Amino acid sequence: MEVTPVERGLKVVALEGATPFYVLSDSASARPAKEWYRNFDLAAERARGLPDRTDHFFAGEFRATIAPGGSLTIVASTAAAPSLVGEAAFVKRQFETGALLDRFLAANHGTTQTPSPAVQQLVLAADQFIAARPLDGAADAKTILAGYPWFSDWGRDTMIALPGLCLATGRPWLARNILRTFSRFVSEGMLPNQFPRAGAAPVYNTVDAALWYFEAVRQYFEATSDIGLLHELYPVLDSIMDAHVRGTRYCIRVDSADGLLYAGEPGVQLTWMDAKVGDRVVTPRIGKPVEVNALWLNAAAAMAQFARALDRNAARHEDLAKRARTGFARFWNPEKQFCFDVIDAPGSPDGKDAALRPNQILAVSLPETALTPEQQRAVVDVCARELLTSFGLRSLARNEAGYRGRYAGSPEERDEAYHQGTVWGWLLGPFALAHLRVYQNAGEAMYFLEPMFGHIKAAGLGTASEIFDGDPPFTPNGCIAQAWTVGETLRAWRAITAAREKEDATRHK
């Protein structure tokens, strides 16, 4: 590492050919140091079963005398001549955050109460996940990063988070951009699970990313009535439907016997419960997963809606939706009074996985449901009783075999617990909306979101975590900032607020 004095500070070069890094100040004097501090102990990394030693480089020292009421600016940058005016940078950031909040408030102008500071902070957090993904012919293309500090952009996470991060915050043009960006990567009816590093090919091992794409498009069209984008994307969406009916990768296909979607083969994790330890998939869920088929039903219904909006023949999609709605009755477990998590599962003696998991809540929260009102209430009630925590739903009920209440230990141990009891923050939104649908009480539904608004002061400051322990005190874990946790909380807040406004208007008539 080379450290050399430059005007107003220091220039640091890690190795030959590396991009220089500048540390500069508007008024402090700099002295190069170039000293290594070896073997720092990383207790948290040791607890994670990861390398627990690191070295820190002391590049140099800045000295200044600050008078009472004065200020000092330090700039760290790869730009050779960045602005050193700290006040201007602060004013610029204030303007940016003000503009974000103005758009949000304008998009929610119908509310009679100003959104709380916690809600407004989540709006600012939402912007942190929007990132550039320049493409040939689309230099301004955008995407959504799934979480900090580890995740890049994932197809599933992007589509789940998009309505909350873009539409609820009053930025539909961002949603439009991202939907168009991802349309370019559809392959054999599938959206990429994960975009790899530059130069590598996208990975398509996901059954539900493309289905969530339909729901993101549906919500965008509902919010904007943008018939132009719908016309542009319709052929892509139609090709996705055709591929699922014909069959595509990993045995993903519509079963002609019941109209439901089958997916999976040994050694591949296709649903959002995708942890893998070595070559073993922890929750393989091969067969017909309940949330995948709830999404398939909604995709078919959305396509029928899109076809009608474009004056096209909707009969084929209406038929697919009708058959999926009828076939969905197979998911109901009359003995336990909730849905099987997977049916037609080859690894189960009767082909049914009766474990209590949160996936069935989507069969209530999504617009189209095949469950009766009584069944919807039973699903919400059992999830509230057995899975609900302050910050989301457990991925497995505590009385089920294999439940793990702590997300801790080595990478293998954490992967074992990832979907075996660990609480997922993003599921709080669907649960609150399902509760609203069943009980028609916006005040109660909003109550479920309150702990998440408090959580923004507890882990990743000003944002929302990926996961939490299944056992009290529900310690936050995983990424300190997760796109779909923030997005689904905002989306649910907006929908529940609108419902509460309607309730209040009805009461005052």
Q: How many residues does the chain have?
A: 509
User: Phi/psi of residue 342, each to 5°?
Assistant: -145, 140
Selection from 234, 244, 147 nearest residue 194 by Cα: 147
- What share of residues in the chain are helix, strand, coil (percent, to 5)? 45, 20, 40
pLDDT at 331: 98
Write down the pLDDT at residue 196: 67
Three-state SS for 96?
Answer: helix
Tell me: pLDDT of 198 over 80: no
478: pLDDT strictly greater than 80: yes
Residue with tokens 């009755």: 329
Average pLDDT of the chain is 95
Asked whether 253 and 322 are in contact (CB, 8 A), the reply is no
DSSP string, 440-462: --HHHHHHTTHHHHHHTTTSSTT
> Where is pLDDT greater, at 313 or 110?
313
Which pair of structure tokens corresponds to residue 286?
A: 């091969």
Using CB atoms within 10 Å of the CB of residue 413, give its burial: 0 to 12 exposed, 13 to 18 middle, 19+ buried.
middle
Dihedral (CA of 451, 456, 457, 459) sign:
positive
- Look at residue 381 and give its three-state secondary structure: helix
* Residue whose pair of structure tokens reads 């507890």 in the numeric block: 458
Give percent above pLDDT 90 in the chain: 90
In whole angstroms, how far apart are CA 415 and each of 119, 407, 442?
Answer: 32, 8, 36
Q: Are 254 and 245 in contact (CB under 8 A)?
A: yes
At residue 435's C-alpha, the angle toward residues 433 and 438, to 5°, is 110
Terminal-residue alpha carbon distance, the chain: 72
Residue closest to 23 by CA, chosen among 56, 55, 59, 57: 59
411 is written with which tokens?
């990478």
pLDDT number for residue 110: 65
- Residue of 457, 444, 462 lying closest to 500 (CA atoms): 444
pLDDT band at 157 (very low <50, low <70, confident <90, very high): very high
Q: What is the CATH number of domain 98-108+118-507?
A: 1.50.10.10
Whether residue 29 contacts residue 78, with contact meaning beta carbons closer than 8 Å, is answered with no
Determine the Cα–Cα distance for residues 434 and 363; give it in Å rounded to an integer. 9
- Give the pTM: 0.94
Confidence band, pLDDT 50/70/90 cuts, at residue 66: very high
76, burial (CB in 10 Å: exposed 0-12, middle 13-18, buried 19+): exposed
30 beta partners: 62
**Tokens of residue 138, six digits:** 């689309």
- Mean pLDDT in residue range 44-65: 94
Which pLDDT tens digit goes with each residue over 85-112? 999 999 999 999 999 999 999 998 766 6
CATH 1.50.10.10 domain span(s) along the chain: 98-108+118-507
The three-class DSSP label of residue 267 is: coil
Q: pLDDT: is 339 or 49 the higher one? A: 339
Q: Give the pLDDT confidence score for residue 111 in this predicted structure.
A: 64
CB-based burial, 427-448: b 16+ in 10 Å, e otherwise: bbbbbbbbbbbbeeebeebbeb
